[in-house]
Structure 1
Amino acid sequence: MGYTTQAELITRYGEEMLRGLTDIGLPPSGEIDTEAVDRAIADADAMIDGYLRERYVVPMASPPPEISAISRAIAIWNLHTFEPGKKIETDYQGALAALKDISKGLIKLDAATVAPVVNAGTGARITDRERPLTEANMKGFI
């Protein structure tokens, strides 16, 4: 299941826009190309998962509303084969900025997080072994 749906894209951007972006066959069918919409949503979701993979369990089973909005903005931008309008471009840039902030931890999501990786070999080491150079075995050198 994706982070957004075709129905949500229609609600947000209108059926006419989706038809205009996806019905590019000759002659036009007059219908929304659901395969093109599904590809755009899948590409958007893959991009989102790439940004969130380090901090959150992906794919998210029940994504928070922020992720659905980001997915819509990226998916509609993906559907534009030519230069998108200013609003679409602004929303896309905002979605990318939000993804970067989420991946840096500046924006926290209400979702399952990945357990932090613990490196065992870091930090100072303390040992209790016997000292090889002592006053007793250094006689004659000191």
Structure 2
Amino acid sequence: MNYATVNDLCARYTRTRLDILTRPKTADGQPDDAVAEQALADASAFIDGYLAARFVLPLTVVPSLLKRQCCVVAWFYLNESQPTEQITATYRDTVRWLEQVRDGKTDPGVESRTAASPDGENLVQVQSDTPVFSRKQKGFI
């Protein structure tokens, strides 16, 4: 599941700039949304790598902050041949933010992975005998 769409890229960076970037990557030299879709899919997979440690994927609701970060990474991928300093700096900021999300220092607005609490009366209990080996017994019964 992509965190952003081609329309999100167009809203953030304009349709004209997107067409200029996708033209050289097609056989006929025409703008192609499939190139942008592939960049968005790659960016979403990249983001999933950071989110998988803390969140259940795929996300049911995509926060607007993740949508923005997906657009930043996809735009960096589309500019792979000649990214400007601003594009590179924004991409690096996004990677740092994703690292903070992965480490639990930043909240992206997504429900984190939690262990389900057991409900019910008949829960399993485990009982065992005393250990055979210990520091005092050293294996002798």
Structure 2 length normalisation: TM-score?
0.76
Amino acid across the alignment from 1:58: L
1:90 aligns with 2:89: yes
Q: Deviations over 1:90-120 (max 9, x none)?
A: 111111010000000000132232235xxxx
Flag the 1:128–1:97 CA change in 2: closer, same or farther, 3 A. same
Amino acid across the alignment from 2:29: P
1:28 aligns with 2:29: yes
- Structure-2 separation of matches of 1:52 and 1:130: 41
Q: Specify the alignment match of 2:47 in structure 1.
A: 48
Amino acid across the alignment from 1:28: G
- Structure-1 separation of matches of 2:105 and 2:112: 14
Q: Specify the alignment match of 1:114 in structure 2.
A: 113
Amino acid across the alignment from 1:7: N
In our comparison, the structure showing a higher alpha carbon Rg is 1
Number of equivalenced pairs: 122
Note the 1:60-99 alignment, pairs <5 A: 60-99=59-98
- Structure-2 separation of matches of 1:67 and 1:114: 17
Q: Quote the offset at 1:81 in angstroms.
A: 3.2
Amino acid across the alignment from 1:83: Q
Amino acid across the alignment from 2:51: L
Q: Specify the alignment match of 1:4 in structure 2.
A: 4
Give structure 2 stretches of 5+ with no counterpart. Answer: 116-127, 137-141
Give structure 1 stretches of 5+ with no counterpart. Answer: 117-126, 134-142
Divergent runs of 4+, >6 A: none
Identity of aligned residues (%): 27
- Partner SS, residue 54 of structure 1: coil
- Structure-2 separation of matches of 1:95 and 1:37: 19
Tell me the C-alpha RMSD between the 2 structures: 2.6
